[in-house]
Structure 1
Amino acid sequence: METIDKLWDALSEYLQHTKKLSPVFIKNFVLTTRPISLENGVLTIVVPSDVHKEFWEGDLADDITVVGYHVTRKEIIAKVLTESEVNTEIPDVREEIAEFLPSAQEEFHAEDAKLNDRYTFENFVEGNSNKVAHAAALAVATKPGVTYNPLFIYGGSGLGKTHLMQAIGHEILSNNPLAKIRYITAENFTNEFVESIQKKKMSEFREYFRNLDLLMIDDVQFMPRESQTEVEFFHTFEQLINNGKAIVMTSDRLPKDLDNFTDRNVSRFQKGLIIDIAPADYETRLAILRNILKREKIEEVDDKILQLIASRITTQIRELEGAWTTVYTQATIRNKEITTDFVEEILATLNGDSYNSTKEMTILSIQTVVSEFYGLTVKDLKGKKRIKVVTTARQIAMYLSRELTKESLPKIGAEFGGKDHTTVMYASKNIEKRLKNDENFKKEVDKIQFALK
């Protein structure tokens, strides 16, 4: 291990000081990567996602060869594995993989960029639902116009697409304050285009937008179909791409489902990277609330309060933040202590479907909460994978289905991919035994049950 450690230290030093990669890149692409072995001239490393893998194989492979020869006097090549590949190729090294960290950056703001000062990588809370999108955004911010161009981020409303998009702009400005950057919604792009026609300033409009270094256009699903605006956007898009400039777009749907764009536009959107952001799982929602308190320097709130809110507001991050703001404001105005009863009272008054105090307990609801907690899918629980984390989650879900619903053992087994009722019995007994003997495991299950309330 001495040689591999020496090689890795030298490579990290080289990337940071000789190649002068940004601190954000080092933290999110280098510190999240771990060397596993060095055998027969092959350095095997483990990365968190396919985005990281592509970057290491494409942009950093030569650096490994250069530094490897300097350290070992032998030709070294890299073998890059993702976490999922590690499960099959190197089953015992998962604990060696560092948790993928959110980035830290110094905030910059250019007046013309129209960026929200809060929407930085530093304030973005990463979780299983947005990990790959976060990594892709960092890659674009590091090499704009070269990596994943265009970047198309899609997902439901209020999940963090705009935050992630604008974080790219902030990071580029931190590296190059003179970069010409603009964030704009599709609706405002349309309005500015129409206004330029009315005021006979089309040449200025085109000069401005077609000479940007980064164009970030939000909610492209709202751009009018087969209009002059769409034609103008097409030519703007073409010129920016041809000039090696970066484009980032967001939408609530995939490019192929955009019925407001002609095929020629859709085909161009699909040439880059298309990445989705899913609803945040419980752990991410809780981390977001903790981050809000840290940012606002609020220290007196019990973590159980945050756990309650995170378990109740399960849709949009925007609604999650709004729920906390409502709770805290009401407590301040009414001079009330923030207790669980007080939070229940406030949440019960909120409109919409985000909060459901009479949530029906079903096998599916249990499967959903358990799979979210462990960063899995309901399909994983119903499948035949025997990876430890999947097996544990499946058994917990079976145990809770038996404890919290009135369904029979055969019915529970059937809902887990047609398992036999004896499998459900074994899983329940195994979980009961672990709950008695493993305090940390008991805390995990308690959190899941809390989220189910």
Structure 2
Amino acid sequence: MSGDAATLWPRVAEGLRRDLGVRTFDHWLKPVRFADYCSLSGVVTLETPSRFSANWINERFGDRLELAWRHHLPAVRSVLVRAGAASSERSVAAMTPAPSLPGLQPPSAMTPAAASPFDARLSFDRFVVARSNILAANAARRMAMAEVPQFNPLYLCSGTGQGKTHLLHAIAQSYAAIDPAATIILMSAEKFMLEFVGAMRGGDMMAFKTRLRAADLLLLDDLQFVIGKNSTQEELLHTIDDLMTAGKRLVVTADRPPAMLDGVEARLLSRLSGGLVADIEAPEDDLRERIIRQRLAAMPMVEVPDDVVAYLVKHFTRNIRELEGALNKLLAYAALTGARVDLTLAEDRLAENVRSARPRITIDEIQRAVCAHYRLDKAEMASKRRVRAVARPRQVAMYLAKELTPRSYPEIGRRFGGRDHSTVIHAVRTVEALRVTDSELDAEIAAIRRSLNS
């Protein structure tokens, strides 16, 4: 099977070259070579000349590589890029698998190339703890202990890039070390949905159910992706019930608390809220600096002045992923060009990153700002009242939600009391037309936007 997979790599590579562009492909992926494919674990192993490029490709192109391989070989479950045999760092790089393998087979059934399907970099030792994440971090450690956890399920919620997925991998690795015979499955809620739909269409529901219910520890990432998917929610509910009844462990992550998951069935929300809901707040200055220092400590040959660290801490405040991405971009540029890392280089190379890292406005913030301006209770945004004093501000909030956030019409409708997407479209068009003819309303909207931007 490895030989068959090897013949597919040129076709996979050609597709990536078209999708990513010649320049990006030639710079990063052209040196990559096929190494192995394990049909048992579904892991494709690729090799690149250095550990640095292997880590960069895993982080930047891991998901794209998985999708490209699955297009030609649907049985592929994960892609690992490691340093090649010519590199003295191979033994270390081989311990760093791609982050998104959905499940862990018992060690006795795994090949050495797939000894740990979880990202070794995402461990508890490398998770920096501060006030903003201490509850989630401690709860995650408890979930990975041999003792029966006090709270089950564990529900971790935060905005993107705050460390939820890091904790999932850390829990999985720690629990696997404590109980090597345990069956551990880590998958995104979106993958749960896709596998569920595929099993229904393929008449393979029994195998799907059996695999999930055999888990001793099930970890589901980004639950918000099942919003509005009723059949998927029903199957997820049954899976959770079976696992809880059997005394198994469950960890779920989402970008908002259970109560704010509009479009999710009440019974499912009740199950998810029955354990511990642990928030991860936006990282404070001290945490961001400690994370940068930790990353740099692992690279003693790299010199980054204090003023560059301070620049990163100041401008990348929203989440850890953007902060680390900016640091990686800066170090990659310096390594590939021989440039010295200083404040001038940081300001020049990271200008676009800084612009995109500015805090984004949320629907909740828009609703609060509109209600403050019109002196309404925020509950009116979701109410059924149609009096003009309520309906017009609600339309303004819907309009601003479409203008200032990336949310779709159905998503916006759900945040306004479960309204249909056509209602949101009508509100947006109404306000757009009124802004042309009603100068007072136009001024009010401008004032609300200023308050949001400030």
TM-score bin (small chain)? 0.5 to 0.7
Question: Any residues of structure 2 matched to 1:409-424 within 5 Å, and which?
Answer: none
Secondary structure of the corresponding residue to residue 350 of structure 1: helix
Cα distance in structure 2, aligned partners of 1:280 and 1:135: 16
Cα distance in structure 2, aligned partners of 1:317 and 1:122: 16
Secondary structure of the corresponding residue to residue 103 of structure 2: helix
**What's 2:261 paired with?**
258
Contact 2:156 2:254 in 1 (8 A): yes
**What's 2:420 paired with?**
none
1:153 and 1:303, CA in 2 relative to 1: closer, same or farther beyond 3 A?
same
Question: Displacement, 1:166?
Answer: 1.6
Question: Any residues of structure 2 matched to 1:10-159 within 5 Å, and which?
Answer: 112-113=103-104, 114-143=117-146, 146-159=149-162
Cα distance in structure 1, aligned partners of 2:331 and 2:264: 43
Contact 1:226 1:262 in 2 (8 A): no
Instruction: Tell me the alpha carbon deviations over residues 218-261 of structure 1, each in whole angstroms, 9 at most, x when there is no partner.
Output: 11011143522111111100000011100000011110111231
**What's 1:327 paired with?**
330
Cα distance in structure 1, aligned partners of 2:192 and 2:299: 33
Contact 1:155 1:251 in 2 (8 A): yes
**What's 2:348 paired with?**
345
**What's 2:78 paired with?**
none
List structure 1 runs of 4+ shifted beyond 6 angstroms.
107-111
Question: Displacement, 1:111?
Answer: 8.5
Cα distance in structure 2, aligned partners of 1:327 and 1:108: 22
Secondary structure of the corresponding residue to residue 217 of structure 1: strand
Equivalent residue in structure 2 for 1:303, among 303, 306, 315? 306
Secondary structure of the corresponding residue to residue 293 of structure 1: helix
Cα distance in structure 1, aligned partners of 2:241 and 2:147: 16
Cα distance in structure 1, aligned partners of 2:137 and 2:150: 14
Contact 1:145 1:247 in 2 (8 A): no
Question: Displacement, 1:284?
Answer: 0.7
Contact 2:226 2:232 in 1 (8 A): yes
Secondary structure of the corresponding residue to residue 323 of structure 1: helix
Contact 2:196 2:232 in 1 (8 A): yes
AA matched with 2:126 = N
Instruction: Report % sequence identity.
Output: 32
Cα distance in structure 2, aligned partners of 1:296 and 1:252: 32
Cα distance in structure 2, aligned partners of 1:355 and 1:340: 19
Question: Displacement, 1:351?
Answer: 5.9
Cα distance in structure 2, aligned partners of 1:215 and 1:144: 17
Secondary structure of the corresponding residue to residue 179 of structure 1: coil
**What's 2:319 paired with?**
316
Question: Displacement, 1:295?
Answer: 2.8
* Higher RCO structure, 1 or 2 (CA under 8 Å, sep 6+): 1
1:146 and 1:135, CA in 2 relative to 1: closer, same or farther beyond 3 A?
closer
Question: Displacement, 1:136?
Answer: 0.8
Instruction: Tell me the alpha carbon deviations over residues 22-64 of structure 1, each in whole angstroms, 9 at most, x when there is no partner.
Output: xxxxxxxxxxxxxxxxxxxxxxxxxxxxxxxxxxxxxxxxxxx
Contact 1:108 1:170 in 2 (8 A): no
Secondary structure of the corresponding residue to residue 142 of structure 1: coil
Question: Any residues of structure 2 matched to 1:169-318 within 5 Å, and which?
Answer: 169-225=172-228, 227-318=230-321
Question: Displacement, 1:315?
Answer: 0.7
AA matched with 1:225 = G
AA matched with 2:271 = R
Cα distance in structure 1, aligned partners of 2:160 and 2:271: 24
Q: TM-score, normalised by structure 2?
A: 0.52
1:190 and 1:355, CA in 2 relative to 1: closer, same or farther beyond 3 A?
closer
Q: Tell me the C-alpha RMSD between the 2 structures.
A: 2.1
Contact 1:152 1:249 in 2 (8 A): yes
Q: TM-score, normalised by structure 1?
A: 0.52
Contact 2:157 2:257 in 1 (8 A): yes
Contact 2:124 2:167 in 1 (8 A): yes
Instruction: Tell me the alpha carbon deviations over residues 46-83 of structure 1, each in whole angstroms, 9 at most, x when there is no partner.
Output: xxxxxxxxxxxxxxxxxxxxxxxxxxxxxxxxxxxxxx
Secondary structure of the corresponding residue to residue 267 of structure 1: helix
1:228 and 1:144, CA in 2 relative to 1: closer, same or farther beyond 3 A?
farther
The reply on whether 1:167 has 2:148 as its aligned counterpart is: no
